[in-house]
Structure 1
Protein backbone atom coordinates (compact mmCIF):
# COMPACT_ATOMS: atom_id res chain seq x y z
CA UNK A 1 0.00 0.00 0.00
CA UNK A 2 2.83 2.38 0.81
CA UNK A 3 4.31 1.88 -2.67
CA UNK A 4 1.26 3.06 -4.55
CA UNK A 5 0.31 5.99 -2.30
CA UNK A 6 3.71 7.00 -1.01
CA UNK A 7 2.32 6.95 2.56
CA UNK A 8 1.56 4.23 5.07
CA UNK A 9 -2.06 3.79 6.24
CA UNK A 10 -1.05 5.19 9.64
CA UNK A 11 0.35 8.31 7.98
CA UNK A 12 -2.87 8.73 5.99
CA UNK A 13 -4.96 8.78 9.17
CA UNK A 14 -2.73 10.54 11.67
CA UNK A 15 -0.42 12.60 9.45
CA UNK A 16 2.84 11.35 10.93
CA UNK A 17 4.98 8.24 11.00
CA UNK A 18 4.14 5.46 13.43
CA UNK A 19 6.39 5.35 16.51
CA UNK A 20 6.91 2.17 18.46
CA UNK A 21 6.50 2.15 22.28
CA UNK A 22 10.29 1.94 22.73
CA UNK A 23 10.72 5.14 20.73
CA UNK A 24 8.07 6.86 22.86
CA UNK A 25 10.08 6.41 26.09
CA UNK A 26 12.88 8.60 24.73
CA UNK A 27 10.39 11.30 23.82
CA UNK A 28 9.03 11.79 27.36
CA UNK A 29 10.93 15.06 27.83
CA UNK A 30 9.71 16.29 24.46
CA UNK A 31 6.11 15.46 25.44
CA UNK A 32 6.37 17.45 28.69
CA UNK A 33 7.65 20.50 26.82
CA UNK A 34 4.94 20.13 24.20
CA UNK A 35 2.08 19.93 26.72
CA UNK A 36 3.25 22.91 28.81
CA UNK A 37 3.26 25.41 25.96
CA UNK A 38 1.18 28.50 25.23
CA UNK A 39 -2.51 27.70 24.25
CA UNK A 40 -2.52 30.13 21.31
CA UNK A 41 0.72 28.72 20.00
CA UNK A 42 -0.63 25.19 20.41
CA UNK A 43 -3.82 26.13 18.56
CA UNK A 44 -1.94 27.59 15.58
CA UNK A 45 0.44 24.63 15.58
CA UNK A 46 -2.53 22.22 15.51
CA UNK A 47 -4.14 24.18 12.67
CA UNK A 48 -0.89 23.92 10.68
CA UNK A 49 -0.73 20.19 11.39
CA UNK A 50 -4.27 19.74 10.04
CA UNK A 51 -3.35 21.67 6.89
CA UNK A 52 -0.24 19.52 6.45
CA UNK A 53 -2.37 16.40 6.90
CA UNK A 54 -4.75 17.60 4.19
CA UNK A 55 -1.79 18.26 1.87
CA UNK A 56 -0.44 14.77 2.57
CA UNK A 57 -3.82 13.24 1.73
CA UNK A 58 -4.06 15.22 -1.52
CA UNK A 59 -0.55 14.06 -2.40
CA UNK A 60 -1.62 10.47 -1.64
CA UNK A 61 -4.66 10.82 -3.91
CA UNK A 62 -2.43 12.09 -6.72
CA UNK A 63 0.02 9.24 -6.15
CA UNK A 64 -2.84 6.75 -6.18
CA UNK A 65 -4.22 8.16 -9.44
CA UNK A 66 -0.76 8.04 -11.06
CA UNK A 67 -0.25 4.47 -9.89
CA UNK A 68 -3.63 3.40 -11.28
CA UNK A 69 -2.82 5.06 -14.62
CA UNK A 70 0.49 3.20 -14.81
CA UNK A 71 -1.17 -0.13 -14.01
CA UNK A 72 -3.92 0.51 -16.58
CA UNK A 73 -1.32 1.44 -19.23
CA UNK A 74 0.62 -1.75 -18.51
CA UNK A 75 -2.58 -3.85 -18.63
CA UNK A 76 -3.79 -2.24 -21.86
CA UNK A 77 -0.37 -2.73 -23.45
CA UNK A 78 -0.68 -6.50 -22.89
CA UNK A 79 -4.12 -6.71 -24.54
CA UNK A 80 -4.14 -8.09 -28.05
CA UNK A 81 -6.18 -6.05 -30.52
CA UNK A 82 -8.27 -8.45 -32.58
CA UNK A 83 -10.50 -7.39 -35.44
CA UNK A 84 -13.39 -9.67 -36.29
CA UNK A 85 -15.60 -9.61 -39.37
CA UNK A 86 -18.83 -11.49 -40.09
CA UNK A 87 -18.25 -14.91 -41.63
CA UNK A 88 -14.93 -15.58 -39.88
CA UNK A 89 -14.42 -18.70 -37.81
CA UNK A 90 -13.35 -18.20 -34.20
CA UNK A 91 -12.69 -20.15 -31.02
CA UNK A 92 -14.43 -19.24 -27.76
CA UNK A 93 -12.60 -19.30 -24.40
CA UNK A 94 -14.44 -21.68 -22.09
CA UNK A 95 -14.36 -19.97 -18.69
CA UNK A 96 -16.37 -22.72 -16.96
CA UNK A 97 -13.65 -25.28 -17.63
CA UNK A 98 -11.72 -24.08 -14.56
CA UNK A 99 -14.07 -26.05 -12.30
CA UNK A 100 -13.36 -29.40 -13.98
CA UNK A 101 -9.92 -28.83 -15.36
CA UNK A 102 -8.13 -31.72 -16.99
CA UNK A 103 -4.49 -31.59 -17.93
CA UNK A 104 -5.06 -32.12 -21.63
CA UNK A 105 -8.46 -30.46 -22.03
CA UNK A 106 -8.50 -27.42 -24.25
CA UNK A 107 -9.67 -24.12 -22.80
CA UNK A 108 -11.10 -23.18 -26.20
CA UNK A 109 -14.32 -24.49 -27.72
CA UNK A 110 -15.48 -24.16 -31.27
CA UNK A 111 -15.10 -23.30 -34.07
CA UNK A 112 -17.99 -20.89 -34.36
CA UNK A 113 -18.95 -18.48 -37.12
CA UNK A 114 -19.28 -14.75 -36.49
CA UNK A 115 -22.74 -13.57 -37.46
CA UNK A 116 -22.47 -9.90 -36.43
CA UNK A 117 -19.97 -7.56 -34.74
CA UNK A 118 -21.40 -4.79 -32.54
CA UNK A 119 -19.71 -1.40 -31.93
CA UNK A 120 -19.06 -2.16 -28.24
CA UNK A 121 -16.84 -5.12 -29.30
CA UNK A 122 -19.54 -7.65 -28.52
CA UNK A 123 -19.80 -10.41 -31.11
CA UNK A 124 -22.79 -12.52 -32.08
CA UNK A 125 -21.77 -16.12 -32.73
CA UNK A 126 -23.57 -19.00 -34.32
CA UNK A 127 -22.69 -22.67 -34.49
CA UNK A 128 -21.42 -24.12 -37.75
CA UNK A 129 -24.76 -25.92 -38.27
CA UNK A 130 -26.56 -22.56 -37.64
CA UNK A 131 -28.83 -23.97 -34.90
CA UNK A 132 -27.84 -21.63 -32.07
CA UNK A 133 -26.88 -17.94 -31.77
CA UNK A 134 -25.57 -15.98 -28.79
CA UNK A 135 -23.64 -12.79 -27.99
CA UNK A 136 -20.24 -12.85 -26.24
CA UNK A 137 -17.49 -10.40 -25.35
CA UNK A 138 -14.90 -10.07 -28.14
CA UNK A 139 -12.05 -10.50 -25.62
CA UNK A 140 -13.10 -14.15 -25.18
CA UNK A 141 -12.50 -14.95 -28.85
CA UNK A 142 -9.50 -15.77 -30.99
CA UNK A 143 -9.20 -16.46 -34.70
CA UNK A 144 -9.54 -20.06 -35.84
CA UNK A 145 -6.58 -20.83 -38.11
CA UNK A 146 -7.16 -24.48 -39.05
CA UNK A 147 -7.40 -23.95 -42.80
CA UNK A 148 -4.39 -21.63 -42.88
CA UNK A 149 -2.26 -24.05 -40.84
CA UNK A 150 -3.12 -26.94 -43.15
CA UNK A 151 -2.21 -24.86 -46.22
CA UNK A 152 1.08 -23.83 -44.56
CA UNK A 153 1.97 -27.44 -43.71
CA UNK A 154 1.25 -28.62 -47.28
CA UNK A 155 3.48 -25.85 -48.63
CA UNK A 156 6.27 -26.99 -46.27
CA UNK A 157 5.85 -30.59 -47.38
CA UNK A 158 6.16 -29.54 -51.03
CA UNK A 159 9.31 -27.50 -50.35
CA UNK A 160 11.13 -30.18 -48.27
CA UNK A 161 12.31 -33.17 -50.35
Structure 2
Protein backbone atom coordinates (compact mmCIF):
# COMPACT_ATOMS: atom_id res chain seq x y z
CA UNK A 1 0.00 0.00 0.00
CA UNK A 2 2.84 2.39 0.85
CA UNK A 3 4.56 1.60 -2.43
CA UNK A 4 1.42 2.58 -4.39
CA UNK A 5 1.17 5.86 -2.48
CA UNK A 6 4.85 6.72 -2.81
CA UNK A 7 4.73 6.10 -6.55
CA UNK A 8 2.57 9.21 -7.02
CA UNK A 9 4.52 11.51 -4.66
CA UNK A 10 6.60 14.09 -6.49
CA UNK A 11 9.54 15.56 -4.56
CA UNK A 12 9.55 19.36 -4.38
CA UNK A 13 12.88 21.12 -4.38
CA UNK A 14 13.31 24.75 -3.40
CA UNK A 15 16.48 26.64 -4.23
CA UNK A 16 17.60 30.06 -2.95
CA UNK A 17 16.03 32.74 -5.12
CA UNK A 18 12.88 30.79 -5.99
CA UNK A 19 9.47 32.45 -5.63
CA UNK A 20 6.81 30.67 -3.63
CA UNK A 21 3.50 31.09 -1.83
CA UNK A 22 2.96 30.23 1.84
CA UNK A 23 -0.20 28.52 3.07
CA UNK A 24 -2.25 30.70 5.43
CA UNK A 25 -3.11 29.02 8.71
CA UNK A 26 -6.54 30.29 9.71
CA UNK A 27 -6.15 30.14 13.47
CA UNK A 28 -8.19 33.26 14.13
CA UNK A 29 -11.70 33.31 12.65
CA UNK A 30 -11.91 35.39 9.49
CA UNK A 31 -14.99 37.36 8.51
CA UNK A 32 -14.63 36.27 4.87
CA UNK A 33 -15.20 32.61 5.73
CA UNK A 34 -14.67 30.33 2.76
CA UNK A 35 -13.67 33.29 0.57
CA UNK A 36 -10.52 33.98 2.63
CA UNK A 37 -7.15 33.66 0.92
CA UNK A 38 -5.58 30.20 1.03
CA UNK A 39 -2.02 31.36 0.26
CA UNK A 40 0.01 34.44 1.16
CA UNK A 41 2.93 35.87 -0.74
CA UNK A 42 4.89 35.78 -2.97
CA UNK A 43 8.05 35.17 -0.92
CA UNK A 44 11.65 34.53 -1.92
CA UNK A 45 13.63 31.54 -0.59
CA UNK A 46 16.70 32.78 1.29
CA UNK A 47 18.08 29.56 2.76
CA UNK A 48 17.19 25.88 2.54
CA UNK A 49 17.99 23.44 5.37
CA UNK A 50 17.86 19.65 5.50
CA UNK A 51 14.56 17.94 6.32
CA UNK A 52 12.49 20.63 4.56
CA UNK A 53 13.02 23.76 6.68
CA UNK A 54 13.17 26.99 4.64
CA UNK A 55 13.90 30.61 5.56
CA UNK A 56 11.83 33.12 3.55
CA UNK A 57 11.97 36.82 2.86
CA UNK A 58 9.28 39.04 1.40
CA UNK A 59 9.59 40.99 -1.82
CA UNK A 60 10.96 44.05 0.04
CA UNK A 61 13.90 42.02 1.37
CA UNK A 62 12.68 41.70 4.98
CA UNK A 63 13.88 38.30 6.17
CA UNK A 64 11.64 36.10 8.29
CA UNK A 65 13.63 34.73 11.26
CA UNK A 66 11.53 31.60 11.79
CA UNK A 67 11.93 28.68 9.39
CA UNK A 68 8.89 27.37 7.50
CA UNK A 69 8.17 23.75 6.65
CA UNK A 70 8.31 22.99 2.92
CA UNK A 71 4.93 21.25 3.15
CA UNK A 72 3.26 24.66 3.65
CA UNK A 73 4.77 26.13 0.46
CA UNK A 74 4.08 25.91 -3.23
CA UNK A 75 6.04 27.32 -6.14
CA UNK A 76 4.98 30.62 -7.68
CA UNK A 77 5.61 31.43 -11.31
CA UNK A 78 5.25 35.18 -12.04
CA offset at residue 97 of structure 1? 5.6
Distance 1:128 1:115, change over 3 A: same
Q: How many residues align?
A: 75
Residue of 14, 22, 39 corresponding to 1:108: 39
CA contact (8 A) 1:97 1:107 kept: no
SS in 1 for 2:55: strand
TM-score, length of structure 2 as denominator length: 0.77
Distance 2:5 2:29 in 1: 26
Query: 1:55-105, CA deviations, whole angstroms, 9 ceiling, x for partnerless residues?
Result: xxxxxxxxxxxxxxx3xx255455442111000110001122684362222
Distance 1:80 1:125 in 2: 22
Query: Does residue 1:92 correspond to 2:17, yes or no?
Result: no
RMSD between aligned residues? 2.3
- Normalized per residue, the structure richer in helix is 1
Q: Which residue of 2 aligns with 1:117?
A: 48
CA offset at residue 128 of structure 1? 1.2
CA offset at residue 121 of structure 1? 1.3
CA contact (8 A) 1:90 1:141 kept: yes
- Normalized per residue, the structure richer in strand is 2
SS in 2 for 1:82: coil
Query: 1:3-62, CA deviations, whole angstroms, 9 ceiling, x for partnerless residues?
Result: xxxxxxxxxxxxxxxxxxxxxxxxxxxxxxxxxxxxxxxxxxxxxxxxxxxxxxxxxxxx
In structure 1, stretches of 5+ residues that fail to align are: 1-69, 148-161
Distance 1:113 1:119, change over 3 A: same
Query: Does residue 1:130 correspond to 2:65, yes or no?
Result: no
